[in-house]
Amino acid sequence: MEYILRLDMSKQSVTEEKVPAKYEDKGGRSITSNLLYDEVPAGCDPLGPNNKIIFAPGLLGGTGASSSGRLSVGAKSPLTRGIKEANSGGTAGGYLARIGVRALVVEGEANEGKKYILHIGEDRKTDLIEVDFEVNGAYELINRLCDKWSDKIAVICVGPAGLNRFRGASVIMSDPDFELRFAARGGLGAVMGAKGLLAVIVDSPGKAQRNPVDKDKFNQTVRKLNKLLIESPKTKNQQMYGTASIVSAVNEMGALPTRNFSTGNFEGVETLTGEALHNLIDKRGGKGRYGKRCMSGCIIKCSNVVPDEKGNIIVSTLQYETIGLLGSNCGFSSLDHVAHLNRLCNDIGLDTIETGAALGVAMEAGLVDFGDYDGAIELLEEVRKGTPTGKIIGNGALITGQVLGVRRIPVSKGQAFPSYDPRALKGNGVTYATSPMGADHTAGNAFGDRKTTDPLKKTEQVELSRKLQLRAAVLDLLGFCIFARPPLLADPQLMVDMLNGMYGWDLNEEKLWQMGRDLLEIEWAFNEREGFTPGQDRLPEIFSMEPLPPTNSVFDVDQKEMAGLRDY
Amino acid sequence: MEYILRLDMSKQSVTEEKVPAKYEDKGGRSITSNLLYDEVPAGCDPLGPNNKIIFAPGLLGGTGASSSGRLSVGAKSPLTRGIKEANSGGTAGGYLARIGVRALVVEGEANEGKKYILHIGEDRKTDLIEVDFEVNGAYELINRLCDKWSDKIAVICVGPAGLNRFRGASVIMSDPDFELRFAARGGLGAVMGAKGLLAVIVDSPGKAQRNPVDKDKFNQTVRKLNKLLIESPKTKNQQMYGTASIVSAVNEMGALPTRNFSTGNFEGVETLTGEALHNLIDKRGGKGRYGKRCMSGCIIKCSNVVPDEKGNIIVSTLQYETIGLLGSNCGFSSLDHVAHLNRLCNDIGLDTIETGAALGVAMEAGLVDFGDYDGAIELLEEVRKGTPTGKIIGNGALITGQVLGVRRIPVSKGQAFPSYDPRALKGNGVTYATSPMGADHTAGNAFGDRKTTDPLKKTEQVELSRKLQLRAAVLDLLGFCIFARPPLLADPQLMVDMLNGMYGWDLNEEKLWQMGRDLLEIEWAFNEREGFTPGQDRLPEIFSMEPLPPTNSVFDVDQKEMAGLRDY
C-alpha cells in the first residue's frame, strides 16, 4: 500500500491518505507535476504559502532496478515562475519508496523565522521538531543530524541559501556515504526554506523491500537490465571518468561555456577533463576514489571523491556541469579550484550551475576578474553572509545580469543554461527554450545525438528535442537516472515489464510513452495557466546575434518551429 | 509637411522621410506604439541595438490648444519587457511639432562607452556630437547644455541612471524655466542610455506656428476649450494645490501607499497634503511659487516650485505620485524630506515612482529604516555611484524585492504601482493588471470616479478601467495632459473639431474612439507577440491575500473578468 503524506507547515500537522486512483499510475516527476497542477493556484507566489513542494520517488524507486532510486522534487519555481521538477540521487528516494511513501507534499508555511525538521520513522510515523540552531553550512548540518539520529538516516535539507530564500538555492540530499547530492535546479531550496522546513529525516527501512505484484516477472527483468548495464562499455567509462568524461568532447564541439559563454573553447581545458580528474584522484590517493555510488544498488557508479594533496576529501562528487559552469565559464583551469568552489556551493546550498552562471555574469560585469579564485570565493562567502552583493549572486544568473547590466545572460525562462552553449549544440537550445523546465540538461539533452544530428545545423533540432524531452519525462517518472538510458531506450519493453511486474498493470510500449506525453502536457498546461505561451519559447536575443567562436555559430532555429514542439 | 526623423546610432546617420500614409493619422502614443509594433522584433533585448526609442509629439502638439504639448516617448520597456509609452510636459514636444517632426526614431546603438548629443536646428538640420565629459547629475548637465547652446533650446536627456542602463531610469525634459520634467516610467531612460544617446537638443522655432488646414474651425475650437478650462473650478484648485491636492482624499479612502503598501493610511499625512504644500510655499516665499506651467500656453498650470527656508529652489515640481511613493510609502512626513529626495532622483535621472517603491521595499527588507532620511539619501547616492546596492535600487522595485527577499513587491508586469493601493481603489488595480503599460497612473486612473463607482467593490471595475484606458489612449495620441480631461470628455466633439480643423479630416466621435481602440489593440498585439497573455493580467498574489488597513480590503476582482477587458 502506498500513501501520500501531507505536511502542513501552517498547521504543523501531518496527514496521510492512500494514493488516490487518479494518481495510481503516477510517480516521480509525474506525481509531483500532477499534484502541482491540481493544487497550486495560478499566479501564486512561489515563495508564499500557496506554493507546495513535493518529494516523490519514481514508480520503480526502492526496487533492485539499478539507478532507479532518484527522488523527484517539484514546486512552482521562483526562478522560472513555471512548474519545476529536479531529481537527485542519494538515499532518501529509495527509503521513502520502501516505506510506502509515493509523495510527501509540503504546504503552507511556518511562522516567520521558525524552522523545523520533519522526522519520518517506521510505519511512516512522523514528528515535526522545531529547531533554533544557526545553520552555517550543509556539511555541518548533516553531521549534526547524524549525531542526533544515527547514520541510518537519509537527509533531505537546505543550506543557508535555501533558508534565505535565494533563487539559486538547491535541495540537498545525503548519499550512502553522507556526501551531498542535489535536486539543484529551479531554486527549489528557496521554496523549502520559505516553508520553514530545514530538513526531512527518513529512517532507513533496513532490509524491507517493496513487493512486486508479479515477483518473477519483475525480478527477471531487473536482472536483465542490470546485466545489460554491467556489460555496457559506457558503464566502465562512467566508473573511470564520471560525467566529466565529456569535457573534451564538448570543448571540441566548441560548446563548452567559457568566460560567460563568450567562446565555446577553453584554452585551459586539458586540466579539466575526465582523464585529468581520474589521474588527479589516482595520484593523490587517500580518500580519493572513483566508481562511487550515489544510490545503493547502482551499477553505473559514476561518482567520485576528489581528494586534496593530503588525501582528504575536497568534494564528492565533482561533475561535468560543475566543471563547465564553475570552471571554464569562470575562467578556472584548475580542478582544485573548481572542487573547492563546488564544495563551497554545496555547503551554502547553492546550485552549481545557476551559481557558476551567475559568477560568470558577475565576472563579465567586472565584479571580480575571470579566473580570480580568491575573488570568487569571496563572492560565495558574501552569499553565505547575505550581503547585498551576496544576495545578487545567490539569486542566480538572470538577476545578477539584470542588476549588473550584463547583456549576455545565459538563461531561459529565468534559469541558467547548463554546460552546453546552445549555439554549438542547437538541440539543447531547443530544449532550453521549449522545455517546461526552462534551461535544463536533464530535460532533453542532445549531446548524445551529436553524431547523428549535426549540432550546428538549424533543422531537425525541434524534432530531436521533442523526442528527447519525452524520453526524459518517462525516465523521470520511473525514477531512473539518465545514465541508465542506453539499455532502457534500446529496449523500452524493459520498462514496460518492470512496471507490469511491479504493479500488475497491463502496459505496453505505446502506453508507456503516453504516460510521458501526458506528463509533458500537464506541465505545459500548468505553465500556460501561469501565462506562458509558446511565443515565449525563445532564447535571449543575443544568442541569435553574437557568433560563438570557434564555430561562429548563432542560435538560429526557427522560433515558430520551436513553438510547434508541443504538437505531437 | 511632417516628417519622421531617424537617428541610427550604429551608423551615426540621420535621415528623414515624409510621414507615410499609414502613419498619417497617428501621433504621440499612437505613432510610437505603431512604429514599435512595425519595427521592433519580438524577443529583442530592450537594452540592445534592435530596440528603438521613439519621441513623438501628439497630433495637436505645437498648437495653441491648452495642455496639448506633451511629448510621448516609446520603446520596448526593460522593466515590463512589453510595449511602453511615457509622456512628459516640457518644451521639446511643442518645439518638435512646430518644426514638423511627427516622430524621432532612434535605433541601433553607439559603440560601448561612447555618448552623443543630437542637435536639431532650423529646418530640422541635425548634428550628432560626441561628448566625453562625465555626467554626474542632470541639473549640472542641463546647465552645461544651456551654456553651450543658449536658453532657447529644449532638452531631452538622461542622467547617470540612464547612462548606466538602470531599469528605474527616466527620460528627462526641460520646461520653460529649465526645471526638469520626466517621461519617467518603464525605464525608458535606460533604453536611451543604452543607445549612447545622452541628449537631444531642439532649437526653439521662435514664433513659428503650425498651420491648421481649417484655421477658423481650429482656432475657434481651441478658444472654446481654453475658455472651458479657464472657467473650470478644477483649474483654480490645480493652480493652488497642484496634483498634491488629492493627498488627503486618497488617504481618507485608505489607498495612500504607506510603508511599502502595508497600510492605506499615513499618520503623518497632514504635513504632506496639497494644503500643507501650498502653505509651505506661501510661507517661505523666495523663489517658491505655484500655478507654474510645464508647457507654454497651458492654462491649468498645476506645477509648483518648492523653496527651502532661504527661499531657494529645492525642486520643481513636487507632485502627488512623488509625495506618495517617496513620502508616505517610505515613512516620511516632511515635505522638505520628500522634496530633497525628489531632487536627488531627478538629478540622477530616476523615476520617483519606481524608486520610491524600490526604497519602500528596501526599507521593508531592513536595508534602512522607514523614515530614515539620511539612510534614504545614502541609498540614492549609491545608485548614482553604481555600487552593487545602488544597482539593486536603481533597477526598480521588482528586482529590489527579488534580491532582498521581500514578499510584498508592489509591481505589475515588472513596473511599480503608482500612488494608489489597488486594494482600496480597485479600478486602478484592474488598470495595473491589464494595461499594456503595466502599473501606470496615467493609463486609466479610476480615482476621479470614486464617487460614482465604489472603489472597494469588486464588480464594475473592469468596465470602468476599460473606459478609462480608452480615454487615456485618446488623450495620449493627441498630446493632451490628463488634466485637460474634464472639458474634452464632457464634449469629445472638441477633440474631433480640433483634429478636423488641423488636418482637414472628416472624423466624428466614433472614429475618434476607434483611433483609441486601434491604439490599444496594437499595444496588446505587441505584448502578445512578446508572449504576454491575458492570463498574466494579474497582480502579485499578496494583494489578493493580505487585507489593507484600514479598509481591510483585498484585491478580489475576478481574474477571468480582467482577462476579458480587451473584448470590446
pLDDT tens per residue across span B380-399: 999 999 999 999 999 999 99
* C-alpha cell, A199: 530538513
Cis status of the peptide bond prior to B317, with omega within 30 of 0: yes
Size of interface A-B (CB pairs under 8 A): 92
Contacts of A336-340 spanning 24+ positions with Cβ under 8 A: A336/A308, A337/A373, A338/A272, A339/A306, A339/A314, A339/A315, A340/A314, A340/A315, A340/A377
Cis status of the peptide bond prior to A317, with omega within 30 of 0: yes
A533 chain-B contacts, CB cut-off 8 A: 531, 533
A403 closest CB neighbour out of B391, B528, B536: B391
B536, A540: Cβ pair inside 8 Å?
A: no
Report DSSP state, residue B169: B
* pLDDT score recorded for residue B568: 67
* Euclidean distance between CA atoms B83 and A194, whole angstroms: 34
Q: Within 10 A of A386 (CB to CB), how many other CB atoms are there?
A: 17
A45 closest CB neighbour out of B395, B403, B407: B407
Report DSSP state, residue B268: T
Q: Is B365 helix (H, G, I), strand (E, B) or coil?
A: coil
Q: Which of A111, A387, A403, A560 is the best mutation test for B, with the most CBs of B within 10 A?
A: A403
> What are A53's strand-pairing partners?
A106
Tell me the CA distances in angstroms from B552 to A519, B139, B360, B411, B423, one per residue in order.
41, 43, 21, 20, 9
Residues 6+ apart with CB under 8 A from B97: B57, B58, B61, B62, B63, B69, B210, B479
Beta carbons of A395 and B402 less than 8 angstroms apart: yes
From first to last of the 568 residues of chain A, give the pLDDT tens digit.
899 999 999 999 999 999 999 999 999 999 999 999 999 999 999 999 999 999 999 999 999 999 999 999 999 999 999 999 999 999 999 999 999 999 999 999 999 999 999 999 999 999 999 999 999 999 999 999 999 999 999 999 999 999 999 999 999 999 999 999 999 999 999 999 999 999 999 999 998 889 999 999 999 999 999 999 999 999 999 999 999 999 999 999 999 999 999 999 999 999 999 999 999 999 999 999 999 999 999 999 999 999 999 999 999 999 999 999 999 999 999 999 999 999 999 999 999 999 999 999 999 999 999 999 999 999 999 999 999 999 999 999 999 999 999 999 999 999 999 999 999 999 999 999 999 999 999 999 999 999 999 999 999 999 999 999 999 999 999 999 999 999 999 999 999 999 999 999 999 999 999 999 999 999 999 999 999 988 889 999 999 999 999 999 999 999 999 999 988 6
A532, B531: Cβ pair inside 8 Å?
A: yes
* Euclidean distance between CA atoms A367 and B391, whole angstroms: 12
* pLDDT score recorded for residue B1: 87
B434 chain-A contacts, CB cut-off 8 A: none
* Euclidean distance between CA atoms B277 and B281, whole angstroms: 6
Instruction: Tell me the shortest Cα–Cα distance from A267 to chain B, in angstroms.
Output: 27
Residue count of chain B: 568
User: What b/e string do you get for B529-538 counting C-beta neighbours within 10 Å, with b at 16 or more?
Assistant: bbbbbbbbbb
* Euclidean distance between CA atoms A156 and A345, whole angstroms: 16
B407 chain-A contacts, CB cut-off 8 A: 45, 47-48
Q: B123 — alpha (psi -120 to 50), left (phi > 0) or beta? A: left
B399, A402: Cβ pair inside 8 Å?
A: yes
* Euclidean distance between CA atoms B562 and B568, whole angstroms: 12
Longest CA pairwise span in chain B (Å): 62
* Euclidean distance between CA atoms B396 and B359, whole angstroms: 9
User: What b/e string do you get for A404-441 counting C-beta neighbours within 10 Å, with b at 16 or more?
Assistant: bbbbbbbbbbbbbbbbbbbbbbbbbbbbbbbbbbbbbb
Closest CA to A424 of A448, A443, A442, A450: A450
ipTM (interface predicted TM) = 0.95
A164 chain-B contacts, CB cut-off 8 A: 405
Q: Which of A166, A541, A545, A559 is the best mutation test for B, with the most CBs of B within 10 A?
A: A541
Q: Within 10 A of B336 (CB to CB), how many other CB atoms are there?
A: 15
Q: Which of B10, B403, B556 is the best mutation test for A, with the most CBs of A within 10 A?
A: B403
Site of grid cell 534614504: B376
A50 chain-B contacts, CB cut-off 8 A: 541
Closest CA to A92 of A61, A128, A117, A63: A61
Helix spans in A109-214 (H): 138-148, 160-163, 188-194
Q: Which amino acid is at B212?
A: P
Q: Is A422 helix (H, G, I), strand (E, B) or coil?
A: coil
Half-sphere exposure at residue B110, Cβ-oriented, CA atoms within 13 angstroms: 22
Instruction: Tell me the shortest Cα–Cα distance from A531 to chain B, in angstroms.
Output: 5
Check: pTM over 0.95? Answer yes or no.
yes
A111 chain-B contacts, CB cut-off 8 A: none
Helix spans in B313-445 (H): 320-322, 335-348, 352-364, 373-385, 388-394, 397-404, 426-434
Closest CA to B447 of B477, B423, B426, B470: B426
Q: What angle do CA B556, B562, B566 make, to 5 degrees?
A: 165
Beta carbons of B115 and B139 less than 8 angstroms apart: no
B42 chain-A contacts, CB cut-off 8 A: 535, 538, 559
* Euclidean distance between CA atoms B410 and B105, whole angstroms: 32
* Euclidean distance between CA atoms A435 and A429, whole angstroms: 10
* Euclidean distance between CA atoms A174 and A293, whole angstroms: 12
* pLDDT score recorded for residue A209: 84
Q: Which chain B residue's Cα is nearest to A533?
A: B531
Beta carbons of B317 and B303 less than 8 angstroms apart: yes
Instruction: Tell me the shortest Cα–Cα distance from B71 to chain A, in angstroms.
Output: 28
A404 closest CB neighbour out of B43, B391, B530: B391
Site of grid cell 544576495: A391
* Euclidean distance between CA atoms B230 and A542, whole angstroms: 53
* Euclidean distance between CA atoms A390 and A155, whole angstroms: 27
Give the strand pairing for A3-8 and A101-107: parallel
**For residue A545, with 0-12 CB atoms within 10 Å meaning exposed, 13-18 middle and 19 or more buried, which class applies?**
middle
Residues in chain A whose Cβ is within 8 Å of chain B = 42-45, 47-48, 50, 164-167, 367, 388-389, 391-392, 395, 399, 402-405, 407, 528-533, 535-536, 538, 540-542, 545, 559
Longest CA pairwise span in chain A (Å): 62
Phi, psi at A157, each rounded to 5°: -155, 175
Q: Which amino acid is at B290?
A: Y
Instruction: Tell me the shortest Cα–Cα distance from A516 to chain B, in angstroms.
Output: 26
Cis status of the peptide bond prior to A307, with omega within 30 of 0: no
A405, B388: Cβ pair inside 8 Å?
A: no
A47 chain-B contacts, CB cut-off 8 A: 405, 407
Closest CA to A428 of A442, A414, A409, A408: A442
Tell me the CA distances in angstroms from B357 to A478, A554, B326, B404, B422, one per residue in order.
47, 39, 8, 13, 14
* pLDDT score recorded for residue B205: 95
A48 chain-B contacts, CB cut-off 8 A: 407, 541-542, 545
Beta carbons of A116 and A77 less than 8 angstroms apart: no
Residues 6+ apart with CB under 8 A from B112: none
* C-alpha cell, A45: 507566489
Q: Is B107 helix (H, G, I), strand (E, B) or coil?
A: strand
* Euclidean distance between CA atoms A248 and A240, whole angstroms: 15
A40 chain-B contacts, CB cut-off 8 A: none
* pLDDT score recorded for residue A200: 98
Half-sphere exposure at residue B305, Cβ-oriented, CA atoms within 13 angstroms: 20
* Euclidean distance between CA atoms A537 and A437, whole angstroms: 11
Instruction: Tell me the shortest Cα–Cα distance from B165 to chain A, in angstroms.
Output: 7
> What are B15's strand-pairing partners?
B6
B397 chain-A contacts, CB cut-off 8 A: none
* pLDDT score recorded for residue A208: 84
From first to last of the 568 residues of chain B, give the pLDDT tens digit.
899 999 999 999 999 999 999 999 999 999 999 999 999 999 999 999 999 999 999 999 999 999 999 999 999 999 999 999 999 999 999 999 999 999 999 999 999 999 999 999 999 999 999 999 999 999 999 999 999 999 999 999 999 999 999 999 999 999 999 999 999 999 999 999 999 999 999 999 998 889 999 999 999 999 999 999 999 999 999 999 999 999 999 999 999 999 999 999 999 999 999 999 999 999 999 999 999 999 999 999 999 999 999 999 999 999 999 999 999 999 999 999 999 999 999 999 999 999 999 999 999 999 999 999 999 999 999 999 999 999 999 999 999 999 999 999 999 999 999 999 999 999 999 999 999 999 999 999 999 999 999 999 999 999 999 999 999 999 999 999 999 999 999 999 999 999 999 999 999 999 999 999 999 999 999 999 999 988 889 999 999 999 999 999 999 999 999 999 988 6
Site of grid cell 544515527: A150
Q: Which amino acid is at B500?
A: N
Beta carbons of A9 and A21 less than 8 angstroms apart: no
Closest CA to A185 of A422, A417, A364: A417
Q: Which chain A residue's Cα is nearest to B165?
A: A405
Q: Within 10 A of B292 (CB to CB), how many other CB atoms are there?
A: 19
* Euclidean distance between CA atoms B511 and B515, whole angstroms: 6
